[in-house]
Structure 1
Amino acid sequence: MTPWPYSFWIAHRGAGKLAPENTLAAFRVGASHGYRAFECDVKLSADGVPFLLHDATLERTTTAQGVAGERSWAELSALDAGSWHSPAFRGEPIPTLADIAKYCLHNGFALNIEIKPTPGTEEETGRVVAGEAARLWAGEAVKPLLSSFQPQALEAAKAAEESVPRALLIDSLWPGWLDCANALRCAAVVAHHSLLSTQVIASIHGAEMLALAYTVNDPATAQRLMEYGIDGVITDAVDRLSPSALVCG
């Protein structure tokens, strides 16, 4: 297998519990706790701009309502994506993928981009996000990892920019998941931590892919997965799972 080029510890949605998820503020909080690799969710605006947001709709994490992907970037960029979390983050904007790329590249941070399509836009989102990732990280030895629960999005990403590595996200061991990851030429499988046993990790490794776990928020689970041979851990608990305090391997 190709050596894993990313940090073992990955901050989920930035530091998405301590600060408003999927914002630059969350990335800065994660970095302040020693994290050097981050996960975020990316979808497309109505006019094709890749931006960070987890939900299909805006209600939970912004001051607006409705389907996010039906709005132009000009509309989305004016929203408050911070006050829902706490008054300290009032006015925090939704960032574009380009904003996050600039921050990560400037600081030497790694990024796992979850392709999070608005329903019905799986192929377009995979294609555009892969293209933008290739452009933004052009000339960089380590590209971002593109992950998705949607095989159609990953297939479109592979067709658009095969050089940008991919990972299949799974929340169950559905029939054919490993064959699907193989067919997509994935570099990794990212699974819910409860699915991962020594046997499952061995099967992923046997297919010459890396195994990552989400979302691991307690030290005992992290330690168990390390003993099983996990290659990376995505966590919300950036204030409790310190990369310098827990040693992998």
Structure 2
Amino acid sequence: MRNPCVAHRGFSGIAPENTMAAVQLAMEQKDVRWIEVDVQCSKDGVPLLIHDFTLNRTTNGRGPVKDKTLAELQALDAGSWKAKAYRGERLPSLDEFLDTIAGRLRANLEIKTEGNRYPGLEEKVISAVKRRHMEHEVVLTSFEPRILAKIKEIGRGIRTGLIIDRQPKDLLLRLKLLHCSFLSIHYRALTAELAEKAFKHGIDVMAWTMDDVRSLRKTAALHPDILLCTNRPDVWREAIGSGKTNHVIVKPQSPGGEDDDEQIDR
């Protein structure tokens, strides 16, 4: 079995992350079976896709995401920072995203929050998933154990996963106590021993985020079932798949628009 490819924030190595352009491009790659996106909430309580807590990096807006309504957020340009060809790309709502991928891709929905930034976000995400009967197509992940505990309390039938950038000695115990069946871990913190033990305990493992052939192959060698999260599904294909590409053309980025794949996604 080839290690599954997870498109990180969509095909974000080319298209602007967490936009429908990146989602659609990921869906065009026949090897992509999973997609990972980040979910936050507008001022008027609508879940939408964006990674940072502020708008500064990936839109032409400024300030916290939580201070603007969905209409205000969707009026922003979320594509020009990546390339001129994506000018006018919008921030998509979670509903729009789920409607697009339903029955086509499995999704890792990272709940992006901290403290009491987005009261009720978990309920809104769970409701959106259940309305579409997508309980078996998604996993909800977070760095924060309290978020995962709350999801388990109110979201029966929905899988949860802990995101972590290190390997504490009690990691498997933590996952068991949280009733998690998914582990999202920085690829440099993952070992063959941890992967083997996790899979034996019924816990799927996703390693993030690798965009070069060497790192993808090295991580894949740890265990054949590890999900490989990448901004570049075309590089995954070179490293793990047939080696044949779809001749995806990388559009030039604006200066300062690159996303560091080594940064910790907090």
TM-score, scaled relative to structure 2: 0.82
Question: Which residues of 2 match residues 43-122 of structure 1 at below 5 A?
Answer: 43-105=40-102, 108-117=104-113, 119-121=115-117
Residue 145 of structure 1 corresponds to: 139
Q: Which whole-Å deviations, capped at 9, do the CAs of 1:36-62 have from their partners, x for residues lacking one?
A: 321100011122111000000000001
Question: What displacement does 1:31 show?
Answer: 2.3
Instruction: Please say if residues 5 and 233 of structure 2, whose CA atoms lie closer than 8 Å, have aligned partners that are also in contact.
Output: no
Instruction: Please say if residues 147 and 167 of structure 1, whose CA atoms lie closer than 8 Å, have aligned partners that are also in contact.
Output: yes
Question: What displacement does 1:141 show?
Answer: 7.0
Q: Which amino acid aligns with 2:48?
A: F
Residue 135 of structure 1 corresponds to: 131
Describe the SS at the equivalent of 2:229. strand
Instruction: Please say if residues 44 and 117 of structure 1, whose CA atoms lie closer than 8 Å, have aligned partners that are also in contact.
Output: no
Identity %: 30
Residue 209 of structure 1 corresponds to: 203
Question: What displacement does 1:142 show?
Answer: 2.8
CA shift in 2, pair 1:108/1:200, >3 Å? same
CA shift in 2, pair 1:118/1:132, >3 Å? farther
CA shift in 2, pair 1:160/1:123, >3 Å? farther
CA shift in 2, pair 1:210/1:157, >3 Å? same
More displaced 10-residue stretch of structure 1: 75-84 or 51-60: 75-84
Residue 234 of structure 2 corresponds to: 239
More displaced 10-residue stretch of structure 1: 197-206 or 161-170: 197-206
TM-score, scaled relative to structure 1: 0.87
Instruction: Please say if residues 207 and 227 of structure 2, whose CA atoms lie closer than 8 Å, have aligned partners that are also in contact.
Output: yes
Describe the SS at the equivalent of 1:36. strand
Q: Which amino acid aligns with 1:100?
A: F
Residue 160 of structure 2 corresponds to: 166
Instruction: Please say if residues 11 and 23 of structure 2, whose CA atoms lie closer than 8 Å, have aligned partners that are also in contact.
Output: yes
Structure 1 residues not aligned, in runs of 5+: 1-6
Aligned counterparts of 2:171 and 2:128: Cα–Cα separation in 1: 27
1:154 has 2:148 as partner:
yes
Match of 1:17 among 13, 35, 40: 13
Count of residues in Structure 1 that have an aligned counterpart in Structure 2: 237
Aligned counterparts of 2:122 and 2:167: Cα–Cα separation in 1: 23
1:179 has 2:176 as partner:
no
Instruction: Please say if residues 9 and 235 of structure 1, whose CA atoms lie closer than 8 Å, have aligned partners that are also in contact.
Output: yes
Structure 2 residues not aligned, in runs of 5+: 244-266
Instruction: Please say if residues 123 and 153 of structure 1, whose CA atoms lie closer than 8 Å, have aligned partners that are also in contact.
Output: no
Question: What displacement does 1:198 show?
Answer: 1.2
Describe the SS at the equivalent of 2:109. strand
RMSD of aligned Cα (Å)? 2.0
Question: What displacement does 1:171 show?
Answer: 0.7
CA shift in 2, pair 1:123/1:233, >3 Å? farther
Instruction: Please say if residues 143 and 164 of structure 1, whose CA atoms lie closer than 8 Å, have aligned partners that are also in contact.
Output: no
Aligned counterparts of 1:202 and 1:11: Cα–Cα separation in 2: 23
